[in-house]
Amino acid sequence: MKTGAEEPQTGATHASSGDLGTGILLALLGASAVFGAFRMPLPDRTPPLVGYLTYPGAVPLAAGLVVFLGGVAIGLGGWRNRRRPAVPIARAWRPVLSSVRLRRGGGVLLLILLYVACLAGRLLPFWAATYLYLALTMVWLRAGTIAGIIGISLGVAVLLEVVFGMALRLPLP
Amino acid sequence: MLAPKTLLYASGAMLLGIVFGAMPGLTAALGVALLTGLTFSLPTEQMLVILLCIYVGAIYGGSISAILTNIPGTGAAMATAWEGHPLAQRGEAGLAIGTAATASFVGTLIGLGALMIATPLLGRVALRIGSPEIALLSLAGVLMVGTLGDSGGALKGWMSGMVGLLISTVGLDSISALPRFTAGSADLAGGIPFIPAMIGLFGVVQVVDSLSRGQAAPVVSLPRVLPNLRTMVRHLALSVRSGLIGVGIGITPGVGENIASLLSYIAAKHTSREPAAFGKGSYEGLIAAETANNACVPASVIPLITLGIPGSPVTAILLGALLLHGVQPGPMLLVENPAFLGEVIAVFALAAVLLFGFALLLARPISHVLRIPPAVLLPIVTAVCVIGAYSLNLSHFDIGVMAAFGVLGLLMRFGGIPPAPLVMGLILGPYFETNIRRTFMLSDGSLAPFVTRPISLGLVLVLAAVVAFQLRFSKRRGVAIAAPSSGAIGGRPAEARTDGRREPDRV
């Protein structure tokens, strides 16, 4: 069993160079929220102060501003520490990025997104999409023999259809 | 409550909860989020039975894998792994699980007592609460969970909460009906659906993360499990103190079981006559952690019922479930629906009894579930997540929301940003916005209500103190952005990260 050797340490105790990217993303999100909030119409109210404080964009504007400022602070912290050699987040993620874990996780995420696309786009019925998703994921993760994987996938897909769709009468996607 | 159908639901939910808690990769939050969607069509009482039983069961279930495999099934079982696994290695696995089950039972009873006593008292205070206080309490929930989260720094936690608050504003404005951030989409006009977002943040992220590790199914063997009443009686004072710590943390908005078990564990270590035994298989440590995390569960419902503010991330999901069923938690709930508290108390009492019975009788069969390879089980969980996300509104858009929040959750994990504050922001955002706007409307734009009303003023001072303390704490440590990681809190960072398979922000 794999243990903590590959574990990413997200519980960082120092601002890290990786925070620069996080900060930029947050600042961009905050800025776009502020921009969006400014474009919302001001209702006519008297006195005007009440209009400003209660218009639909007031809370998004305030939250966007806080996110923008927080993003700048996090980004600056990351910028100041860009050359720090021992950075917990970056150091911990480095082996993950270059390891088999990224491929495994990336493959699984891709399969989940394909599964969701099939269902959200109504390309396949639930049982067929589920069967394909389960089979492909188990093959990708080498969960067993091909015959076993096909059997389990088909069995589970049918079971889910029967239990949720027929017994519990829940509409399935 | 004792109708056969209700008992059947309660038993099934308890069993499912223990299995969810025991399986690394499945969490209490995921279980409650999943079942929220699936129980939408049931009456409120049965929904409550299912969700509370799964919550109680999952918090205990985490101890099974923690003791047997040294992998905490939930974040709340981290300290349990530190003491329980050494006991299992000494050949005392059955006794350790029996102790954990007994401690969980006692903890749930202590939490239940607090629920019975504190809720009416807090309910009376809550009747004096108006819009300014609700707005401040909502903000406090977001900030508190941001400050005390497991991973990342306080600033990142706060930002996560603010992003959640921002996301909660997507859709038609509740007061003016003006579309906000909808980009002309009819789906987005209805807002971001809460449950699919939660399933994505907790479910998809957990599935991808767990499967990327490539773990094999652990080899587990469990002898007979017996209750360990003698040890519990010997450490009665410890049990009561741990339970009270759990209650205190549970009542604090937005903190939850993970912190409760760690704080209780630290307190037990500091006051123990044998602190050196901690980390090598101490029953005191095990009792402290398990009593506190289960006492926290009923206690975290107290602020939910009285103030409408969740006491933990899981109760935040519970809040969403109640709102879906037309139950509006908050100061008026006990006035408009006085029987509700009795129902919740009865459910917790039933859950405590079922927990004790199931924990002792079914621990061995449940331990066999741990043998299912994650590569088989977790893809199936994804399919159930899809059903849960879809079934609420019968909307294909919701499945997309689930996937989008899954990707967002992975990016947040990558950047060290805790997801729990985002959940809080997403849920409490509408409360905050509606009440702060209402306050300004009623006061003609004046800030006076926030400082002239005693409860408001107190909340403002508490919020200011929390922010100031956290900033000062960060500065003292010489870093710009810092918060204690759970490993550091427990004083066992190395063990937590290597052997204990630390999993940030799992609830």
Crossing angle of helices B313-324 and B28-38, rounded to 10°: 10
Place of tokens 């890290």: A16
Q: Name the pLDDT band for B76 (thresholds 50, 70, 90).
A: confident
pLDDT digits (tens, 9 = 90+) for B211-266: 887 766 666 666 666 666 777 788 889 999 999 999 988 887 766 787 788 888 88
pTM of the model: 0.75
Question: How many Å from the N-terminal Cα to the C-terminal Cα in chain A?
Answer: 36
Crossing angle of helices B93-126 and B283-299, rounded to 10°: 30
Inter-chain contacts counted by CB atoms under 8 A, chains A and B: 244
Question: How many Å from the N-terminal Cα to the C-terminal Cα in chain B?
Answer: 28
Distances (CA, A) of A165 to A170, B12, B359, B387: 5, 19, 31, 10
* Residue ranges in chain A assigned as alpha helix (H): 18-38, 48-54, 58-80, 88-97, 100-120, 126-140, 146-160
Asked if residue B293 has pLDDT above 80, the reply is yes
B38 vs A contacts (CB less than 8 Å): 164, 168, 170
Measured between alpha carbons, how far is A62 from B419 in angstroms, rounded to an integer? 21
Residue B172: strand pairing partners: B179
As a whole number, the mean pLDDT across chain B is: 80
Residue whose C-alpha is closest to residue B295's, from B328, B344, B251: B251
Q: Which residue of B has its CA nearest to A143?
A: B375
Range in A86-100, B229-243, B280-294 with the lowest mean pLDDT: A86-100
Residue whose C-alpha is closest to residue B354's, from B362, B344, B342: B362
Asked if residue A167 has pLDDT above 80, the reply is no
> Tell me, what's the pLDDT at B134?
83
Torsions phi, psi of B64, nearest 5?
Answer: -65, -55
Choose the mutation target among A108, A122, A133, A134 for the interface with B, i.e. most B CBs under 10 Å: A108
Measured between alpha carbons, how far is B69 from A48 in angstroms, rounded to an integer? 63
Contact present, B114 and B357 (Cβ < 8 Å): no
pLDDT digits (tens, 9 = 90+) for A37-47: 888 876 665 56
Q: Which residue of A has its CA nearest to B415?
A: A22
B162 vs A contacts (CB less than 8 Å): 63, 66-67, 70
Place of tokens 């987005």: B188
CA torsion sign for B25, B31, B33, B38 is positive
Torsions phi, psi of A69, nearest 5?
Answer: -65, -40
pLDDT digits (tens, 9 = 90+) for B381-402: 888 888 878 877 788 899 999 9
> Tell me, what's the pLDDT at B111?
93
AA letter at A87: V
Establish if B35 touches chain A: CB-CB under 8 angstroms.
Answer: no
Q: How large is the ipTM? A: 0.83
What residues 441-480 of chain B have any CB closer than 8 A to a CB of chain A? Answer: 441, 444-445, 477, 479-480
Contact present, A4 and A11 (Cβ < 8 Å): no
Asked if residue A131 has pLDDT above 90, the reply is yes
Q: What percent of chain A has pLDDT over 90?
A: 38
pLDDT digits (tens, 9 = 90+) for B440-482: 888 888 888 888 888 889 889 988 887 887 777 665 554 443 3
Averaged over B267-286, what is the pLDDT?
A: 87
Torsions phi, psi of B180, nearest 5?
Answer: -125, 130
Q: Name the pLDDT band for A143 (thresholds 50, 70, 90).
A: confident
Establish if A3 touches chain B: CB-CB under 8 angstroms.
Answer: yes
Query: Do residue A137 and residue B373 have CB atoms under 8 angstroms apart?
Result: no
> Tell me, what's the pLDDT at B492?
38
pLDDT digits (tens, 9 = 90+) for B29-51: 878 887 887 787 888 888 999 99
Q: Name the pLDDT band for B489 (thresholds 50, 70, 90).
A: very low
Q: Name the pLDDT band for A101 (thresholds 50, 70, 90).
A: confident
